[in-house]
Structure 1
Amino acid sequence: MCEHKILTHNEFEKLQQYKPYAINHAEQQKTKLILFNPIKAAYGDKFYRLKKGTQQSIEMICWFGAEKGFCFASADYFAKRFNVTNKTIRNIFKQLRDYGLIYTVYRRSSIQNGLGAPIHLFVKHPYFRQWIKLLQLGHFQPDFHSENTEIPCESKNNESKKDSTKYLSFNKKILKNLRKKIRLDESFTPKNVPQRFIKAVSPFISDAKDIYVLWKKALITYGKSNLADPIEFYLDITIDAFKQTVFAHKQRIIKKDFNGYFYGTLMNMFIYQKRKESIISHPYLYNWLEDKDYDVIKQKNEKHKESTLINKNKYITIFKNEDIPY
């Protein structure tokens, strides 16, 4: 069971009226670093991956706490000032409680006889021991939070509740690892992606999701090109487009998106292939200078001419000479 310290009006007045520890800007900045550096160390590398607004919120919380060792500004204030959500600010304070760097007490609610606005006391501040004595906080736990308050009931099985919470948090951790921390290699790529494509791409892109997204780009390009055969017949063209995109990336030609450049390159190559197929299906329009199999096409053209002449002669011999009016 977690208990919550609710300050009386007099206790809160004493906190506010206490003389500031940091008198000028330089002292407040120095004290802020005393509070901020342990927080930064507790976050570790994770701190640098936080959004800019979240980092600024943490620094401002420490700045407010530097003066007298506590901060009671609302989550809504930080959220509006640094363009983050109220939930982000609440998570910051919860994380600091879990690290043991702040100790939260509450003002009495003016609407009902319950918890009001939280006041966060900094454990690393020189005034913290004085607040412990003044507010008699020695027997309270530092990990409580008003939003997770639950009234205990004797009929509940506390052991089963602890077990379920344990396994729930464990499952969430697995999901986070699968979604964020663990990167799936090319062997996890879905089976609808051809192995030849995976083999050609994997030396440069080893993530299964990135390979799959790239193949989807190829499918979209193929769908817009209206080619005669299935896309598997055009794997050589697709792989060649990828190689050209890699070369452009190495030469710093690509200014924006790698996948977008691949899409444009493959689209141009598919358009050329479509024109080639269309010309082959119309032999009179075929450009024999660009084809190595000109002899084959030439024979097809000659056969087409012969069949045309035969059909023309058949049409003329249908009529008798006396039936022709000229």
Structure 2
Amino acid sequence: MTRRRLIAISAAAAGMALLPPHGKAAQEGVTWQGEAMGAQASLVIHHPDRAMALKLTNDVVAEVRRLERIFSLYMDDSDLTRLNRQRFLIAPPLELVDILRQSREVWTLTGGAFDPTVQPLWDAYRRHFSTSGAAETGPSAQIVRECVGRVGLDRVACSGSRIDLSVPGAALTLNGIAQGYVTDRVVDLLKAGGVERSMVDMGESRAIGSAPGDRPWRVGVSDPLDSARIIEVLEVEDRAVATSSPFGFRFDAEGRFSHIIDPRSGATPQRHASVTVVAGHAALADALSTAFNLMDVAAIAAAVHGNAGVEVHILSHEGGWTRIRA
């Protein structure tokens, strides 16, 4: 998974507000700091029962670690790495089957713009631009065509007993949905522990309930060229927010080839400066924000139509906003 600046979770149990750091309830909170999902992480849980706060803290950290061992591309022994290496996986974890099911739903909704089998194209761009003296025009057309031939979620067979990558050279990446999926699992754990107010930020944000004072949570959308500058503020309750931008990572110094690769063509078009999606679940918001970067406004509107609760905020390269709601 891509490295994020910070993972932060602040949660309050029923009947407790999230207070400033020097408040009395803050002193009763349990705080954890460390690394999770390749990023610096912090977790604060306020609960009238300190033992429950400790348990929730330990449960969240353990769950994130467990899911990393399933979804990570950077662990040699993760389930995803083993699947890519041997092209099959017997008795896969339920979470891997579930995230592929959700991926297929978004793949269908977006006409293939979201496709976890895009990994061969990612590898081709990475290899090309990490080679000394690499052509500024990117991988050859032949290499791109060969990689596109290995892409296609419809050629992945997935069941509770086995996953098969039927195409030689095929490989999966869950970078476009895993952060959101993990966020949703953390939210489930917190709710089960009695948490009624929380902002979970694991690269993608998801709110539980309302903010202190029964106001909506405020989530800032950063300038894609200056992450310290907030250019839009969204108000959400019990919603998730995810933003994707071609400026997040670029393979080449000139910035012509971004990490958002169209699995259908192998190109890296930069249609929009950024796309922010608000949805009921973080996995859906995460995957849609990735796919919508590859789609024009009309196609995005068609995908959103009929999906209640989904809204999209598209920032153009000229700085204008287009907002779409179901």
**TM-score, normalized by the shorter chain, greater than 0.5:** no
More strand by share: 2
- Bigger relative contact order, structure 1 or 2, given CA contacts below 8 A and separation 6+? 2
- Higher-Rg structure is 1
TM-score (norm 1): 0.21
More helix by share: 1
TM-score (norm 2): 0.21
